Amino acid sequence: MTENYVLSYNFITIEGCIGAGKTTLSKMLAQEFNAQLILEQFEDNPFLPGFYQDPERHAFPKSLIFANQNLKSDEAKLYRMLFDIINPSLPKPDLIIYLYAPVEKLLSNIKHRGRDYEQSIPA
């Protein structure tokens, strides 16, 4: 299949809702194009369980708004400064693929893979 194609993208990201098939597609593309695959290390992310239980509280953009509204001026500036330091250092993708799936399929995929902290995610 790849004989007729030239991969002109050095850095591809795959986005989508939880359970959309990002990891599955990533593995398929990496194998097909003999590319390096870097997956999210969800097992090592201490913030994910809290995010899935209370996404409003744990989402960074909302946290940034909260910080600006509730922290002292110097604390909010520090919070924003840290974001501004981290953000530019992140690599920018050459291609972003967004996966869509109906909610029923997402919930089925989540249930099937059986990660405990994902089982209470609301529809």
Domains and CATH numbers, the chain: 2-118 (3.40.50.300)
Q: What is the pLDDT of residues 19-66, one digit of tens each?
A: 899 999 999 999 998 999 988 776 666 766 666 666 666 666 556 666
* Cβ proximity of 17 and 98 under 8 Å: no
pLDDT score of 63: 64
* Distant-in-sequence, close-in-space partners of 52: CB < 8 Å, separation ≥ 6: 117, 118, 120, 121
- Mean of pLDDT over the chain: 79
What is the Cα–Cα distance from 10 to 113, expressed in whole angstroms?
30
Other C-beta atoms lying within 10 Å of the C-beta of residue 26: 19
Amino acid identity, residue 121? I
Q: Check pLDDT > 70 for residue 87.
A: yes
